[in-house]
Amino acid sequence: MADILFYLFAAITLSTALFVVVSRNAVNSAMFFLLSLMGTAALFVLLDAYLLAVLLVLVYAGAVVALFLFIIMLLDMRGGERKPFKRTTLVAGTFAAILLGLGVLSFVQHSQLSSAAVSADVPALGASLKGYAAQLFTTYLLPVQVVGFLLLIAMLGVIVLSKRFEGLEDVK
């Protein structure tokens, strides 16, 4: 049953991530991004990493996607006619896709993982909240503080961009 759920959530995540890229409407892209994040959170739940799943939903799906939607609606972005891809873009994209496929194929063929190496007695790495807290407040304290500071700067930037200043209409 877990294998079926994994393939289902992986298909949902990959398909919605593809729709993020190919969608012409920016609001639809943000909604597909939200669905992609939800699929990723479901994959974390299958890995017994409940804290990561909840943080992904709260921080990214809740805050970041809401910020994207706010900025999209603030800037009044509309999808229009897309320019056709240039030849160099198509060649580079094809080359990157081939390299990605070869990397995945190489990883699958040379995989050293075996089912005997995974023991049922060992708890999942992401299942311990105490382990997360210990790492978060010791090893990763500075990166967490930097990310919090960057999110504060982004929030202030959105507030400044959304504010209408009096008298600027005369300058134009």
Domain-wise residue ranges, the chain: 1-79, 128-164
Amino acid at 112: Q
The pLDDT of residue 121: 61
**pLDDT classification of 5: cutoffs 50, 70, 90:** very high
- Give ∠ CA 37-47-68 in degrees, rounded to 5: 10
The pLDDT of residue 164 is above 70: no
Q: How far apart are CA 152 and CA 144, in angstroms?
A: 12
Phi-psi region of 50 (alpha: psi -120 to 50; beta: other; left: phi over 0): alpha
For 144, the token pair is 């967490």
The pLDDT of residue 29: 87
The pLDDT of residue 168 is above 90: no
| Tens digit of each residue's pLDDT (9 = 90 or more) over 123-151 | 665 557 777 778 878 888 888 888 888 88
The pLDDT of residue 61: 81
| Tens digit of each residue's pLDDT (9 = 90 or more) over 105-130 | 888 888 755 555 555 565 665 557 77
The pLDDT of residue 170 is above 70: no
Looking at domain 1-79, its CATH class is: mainly alpha
The pLDDT of residue 11 is above 90: yes
pTM (global) more than 0.75: no
For 122, the token pair is 């060992």
**Cβ pair 125, 51 in contact under 8 A:** no
DSSP-based three-state secondary structure for 78: coil
